[in-house]
Amino acid sequence: MEPIELKHPLLEHKLSILRNKKTGTKEFRELISEVTLFLCYEVMKDAKLHEVEVETPIKKMKAQMIDENNYIFVPILRAGTGMIDGIVKMIPNAKIGHIGLYRDEETVKPVRYYYKMPSGIESKEIIIIDPMLATGGSGIDAITLLKEDGAKNIKFLSIIAAPEGLKKMQEVHPDVQIYCAAIDEGLNEASYIVPGLGDAGDRIFGTK
Ligand code: PRP
Ligand code: URA
């Protein structure tokens, strides 16, 4: 599946502030959350609706609602957790699973350290969230873990993606639809996204 890159002037504007190295922790966190709202809006575009009866102050009507319990959002620790806030603003009853992965600085390969999912991942829609898709290693590993656990319907939400990672992810997991707010030039020798926004985890948590 071809990745979906969102295009919107407001999103472009917010990404520019997010990328700026002078943007501080508070604003960076807020922007991650705001950009996630856009992505969440897009990923829910094909959500199933069911009919309910609602009484407005004027009359009863048939209205449409989403089953919020049908969605499990899975942040990849740590940086993915910075996106939870944006997700639960839109879908307050969404279930949240966690996958702990970090990139080994030497090998640049993902190392697993935590895995905890809500029940029912076989039948629910799983949406992995991580602001950065660089080599694709973490995303690929997270999807593999979830599939091994029975997940069948998986989507991947990232803010900035590198073409190299997107290609690899499509090769290994062609069934997973990827959504992002920007596809950048590529990776540098340290496998950071160029121009990117630096280390998302460090900027969200103020660790550097
Ligand atoms: C970052 C990012 C992704 C991963 C992307 O996390 O949040 O999980 O790198 O790189 P990849 O596509 O090459 O795997 P990092 O490993 O820096 O951990 P952190 O979230 O704890 O900072
Ligand atoms: N992880 C990040 O946080 N930033 C990158 O550019 C690549 C991986």
DSSP conformation letters of 16-80: HHHH-TT--HHHHHHHHHHHHHHHHHHHTTT--EEEEEEE-SS-EEEEEEE-GGGEEEEEEETGG
Confidence label for 107 from pLDDT (cuts 50, 70 and 90): confident
With the most atoms of ligand 2 within 8 angstroms of its CB, the residue from 189, 192, 207 to mutate is: 192
Confidence label for 171 from pLDDT (cuts 50, 70 and 90): very high
Active-site choice (19, 199, 203, 207): 199
Mean pLDDT score across all residues of the chain: 95
Q: Is 175 a catalytic residue?
A: no
Q: Which of the residue ranges 98-107, 120-129, 131-140, 160-169 would you say has the lowest mean pLDDT? A: 98-107
Identify the nearest ligand to the CA of 133 by its number. Answer: 1
For residues 136 and 166, is the Cβ–Cβ distance under 8 A? Answer: yes
Regarding predicted confidence, which is higher, 106 or 74? Answer: 74
Q: Does residue 8 surpass a pLDDT of 90?
A: yes
The Cα–Cα gap between 20 and 23 comes to 6
Residue 67's pLDDT is 94
Q: Which of the residue ranges 16-30, 105-119, 182-196 would you say has the lowest mean pLDDT? A: 105-119
- Average pLDDT rounded to a whole number, residues 162-170: 98
Active-site choice (29, 78, 81, 202): 202
Residue 106's pLDDT is 83
- Average pLDDT rounded to a whole number, residues 69-95: 96
Percent of the chain with pLDDT over 90: 92
pTM value is 0.95
- Average pLDDT rounded to a whole number, residues 155-179: 98
Q: Which amino acid, one-letter code, is at 120? A: G
Q: Is 202 a catalytic residue?
A: yes
CA–centroid distance for 24 within its chain:
22
- Average pLDDT rounded to a whole number, residues 69-76: 96
Q: Does residue 105 surpass a pLDDT of 90?
A: no
Active-site choice (78, 103, 149, 203): 103
What's the sign of the alpha-carbon dihedral 120, 125, 128, 133? positive
Cβ(205) to ligand 2 under 6 A? no
Residue 158's pLDDT is 98
For residues 166 and 178, is the Cβ–Cβ distance under 8 A? Answer: yes
Residue 151's pLDDT is 97
- Average pLDDT rounded to a whole number, residues 77-97: 96
